[in-house]
Structure 1
């Protein structure tokens, strides 16, 4: 109150007893803010924070800064206060009606409280990482800034929206502040991990694979970069260690599927040079199956299978490999033909 100045003290005295919803609002006085919201302590931290946030939104304020409410004369534990304050902030941020309030700051004066607030945020990440942006990622963006998209040819960095949370660190001396900042950075770095996957198949990723990678980056606490300029091409995944590991496994499976598809297509191309399967079309002329279906039919025949299910013009058919007839779900049949290439067409 002393720092705010006598005018603020006068307003508080003037409005005493007139407060509604547990707070009164005064001018900012000598402080670097436009307004000060004074809370009437009732030990209901979550409720008070929620009321202030909604009041800020109603008044179209763009930012608000909180102290660790209730940890002073009220004597509440900093761990309990951290949980309740962050519960209120997260619930408020989830509301689609929020349009004006863009930044919420928590000002912590005691170094020991940082651990409680950090642990509270970490619990939220562990329990609901799919719906709440990683608090650690937010810390990282505060200290090191957001990652800019690379413009290098043939390299792709998927855009990732990172919400920004600012912690203002106050201490008895600059040395104490620097120590606390260093401690937070060390915590962040311990959570970081990087994985690099190198394979020629990455060069054949198309829009389908890119969409999957973008979705993985959106859902997980990772950043993904594709380096097609390198030989062999690489996919670099970096972020929270547990998510990096799970995303790496999914990317490796994608690479495996690409390689398997390419291998199958190569086999189908070779076989198509030797034998061709056809079906009788609507104009009484035979039409060649696609190369993969051609290979499936040939393999089924070589394995002496009696039947094989195929698709002809987006309809399902059951092929009798003994009679070379295909029957659809309505009982209609098509005649099939197997021609070796040395027989001619």
Structure 2
């Protein structure tokens, strides 16, 4: 009887201890839930400086999870021990109570005690089953929290990998930007050099243009002057020849008139004189014709000189245009470089 009472008191003590442990388990689970929510918020914020906080929370959750496993293991170990102890008390009760079976009152009281003990053990078993179910749900909840924690840790690792990738990408972009800046500086320096070369080329082109215009003027002016002088000289010579011809014609006319008058006056002059005069007139006419041919040839030479002068002007103009084109091509080549 005393043994059964002690067993019941032990079961009640185990039940109260388990209820106390259940309260601590609820607090532990609440703490785990809060830490997981904090970690999820940190992952959503995706701030690189929150990595240390996340690792601290992760370590704290690991310790809390270990405490939870320890508490659950302690609860599961204590419950079967009390149950075994109560069952051991029931089994050890039979030999001790065998001398009292002779009286009906003792038997009925023993039976009543056994029934009450059995009912209390059944109720205690039901309570223990409920607590075991609670423990199972607590284990499931802990596993769920652990899975969420692992998922959060993987997401954080993925975020860290993405951040490192972005950092490397930023570094690559910075290096490319630096290379582009160097290239731009080199191109600007080359552009300055090209501008200087272009300025020098333009100065040289202007000098060459001045020299070309000077040469053209110098070459065209003497030729023009020579042509004008030649034309004037030809005109003067032509005029002098015409004057000479006119003078010779007048002289011939005078001579003819004199000769005719002499012939008429003398009337007996020899015909040889007349023929001589006629021959002289023919000679003079031939000389006049030669002078006219010379004048014609000089005019043709004058035309040829003017024609050659035009050809020379066209030639120098073409050379000038070719030089301008070559200089413009050199400008384009300098600009392209």
Greater helix content: 2
Structure showing greater Rg: 2
Greater strand content: 1
Query: Which TM-score applies when normalising by structure 2?
Result: 0.24
